[in-house]
Amino acid sequence: ETGVTQSPTHLIKTRGQQVTLRCSSQSGHNTVSWYQQALGQGPQFIFQYYREEENGRGNFPPRFSGLQFPNYSSELNVNALELDDSALYLCASSLEGDKEKLFFGSGTQLSVL
């Protein structure tokens, strides 16, 4: 087990709704990144947080936002959901001093109808 927990595992929403996905990392994992994986594609980088501040962002619109908390948990928020937002959302964390090794959560499968 990676020690990274994501919730919920599955979620169904309708277009226009908002969703919050959660990730809980191990103690000391102060870097967390979020990825979107559409069916048949590789994961695409959404953004990364380091010590509670965003320090990198991929090609995603502002309706994708995030937070990282002092207790090593984080959130991905998506507003105004679109059908194309249907995907597996993965979070990955790494430990201070060993940033090469990423620990992935098992993901949240989001379906937008």
Which residues are at the interface with other proteins (CB under 8 A)? Answer: 2, 31, 33, 35, 40-45, 48, 50, 55-56, 58, 88, 90, 92, 99-102, 104-107, 109
By beta-carbon proximity to other proteins, the closer residue of 50 and 75 is 50
Closest contact distance (angstroms) between CB of 100 and other proteins is: 6
By beta-carbon proximity to other proteins, the closer residue of 18 and 42 is 42
Count of C-beta atoms within a 10 Å radius of residue 92: 22
Picking from 102, 109, 110, the residue whose alpha carbon sits closest to that of residue 48 is: 102
- How far apart, in whole angstroms, are the C-alpha atoms of residue 64 and residue 26? 24
Tokens of 108: 């949240």
Closest contact distance (angstroms) between CB of 82 and other proteins is: 21
Closest contact distance (angstroms) between CB of 16 and other proteins is: 26
**Residue type present at position 52:** E
